A = this chain, B = another copy of it.
Amino acid sequence: MEPVERASPRGGDRRGSDLGPGTDQAKVRRRSTKAEQRAETIEQMLDEAEYLFSKHGLHGVTLKDVAKRVGVHHTLLNYYFEDKKSLFDAVFARRAVVTSERRMKALDDYEKAAGGKPTVEGALHAFLDTDLDLYIHGGEGWKNYGALGALVANTPEWGAELMDSHFDPVVLRLIDLLKKALPDCAERDIFWGYHFVTGALMVTLARTGRIDKLSGGVCKSEDFEAIKARMASFMAAGFLQICNKPA
């Protein structure tokens, strides 16, 4: 599996028994309490697993791969996590709850701000921008998590299950707002519209780089700002179209 890939590009952040370059080699080593140590190690495991899973998928990663990147023995992963799948679930859950809560709050706020008159575009902005901001400003970890989400969302095996358990509440909250914005629209159409939205969001998060080559560099996979600037209004227009024009 290629050269030695690390989630944190920075080489200075040594792990495990790297007695290390320069200054305070020995001091780098755990001076902290055990609880902190535990938390820190687990966090690192989640980070590295997140990176690898996002690139190769659940089955494409071995516990040893993860362990190597963290700089610990691979059985330590078994010590902290039941098995590979629960490691994966933990990785996914860690940020899923954050994004879920944030979006939920954003939707609530928007509804209040909009008074009795929410718009489709407004609701979509609340839903999408809040999320995109996380990936834009959240650092590498969030970007990796995004790609992982895209993978999960398109995995028939257990993907829907994971998505359901984490995102149903927010999504239903969005749907609820959309219904208020489009009172005469058939429920079916609203759900299908959401389906399109989520699909578009997922390819975005996947950042496969395909759009880069395709467009000859005009668009960049990493350019979430460009998405943010277009997606809500694009999708809102779509909603209005299929809701006003009942075939």
Contact = CB atoms under 8 A, between A and B. Distances in A.
Interface residues of A, number: 67
Contact of A218 (B187, B203, B240): B187
Interface stretch (A18-26, A33-41, A74-82, A149-157): A149-157
A219 interface: yes
Interface string A215-244: 100110000001101110111111111100
A210 B242 contact: no
A75 to B, nearest CB: 22
Given A188-B226, A238-B238, A242-B234, A164 B214 contact: yes
A17 interface: no
A191 interface: yes
Contacts of A171: 214
A223 B54 CA distance: 29
Nearest to A231: B196
Interface in A146-201: 147, 150-151, 153-157, 159-160, 163-164, 168, 171-172, 187-189, 191-201
B245 A241 contact: no
Interface string A59-89: 1100000000000000000000000000000
A111 B151 CA distance: 35
A-B pairs, top 8 by smallest CB distance, nearest first, are A199-B203, A237-B241, A59-B59, A234-B238, A199-B200, A196-B200, A160-B208, A59-B60
13 contacts: A54-B156, A57-B59, A59-B59, A150-B154, A153-B210, A155-B208, A163-B210, A191-B211, A196-B200, A233-B242, A234-B242, A235-B238, A237-B237
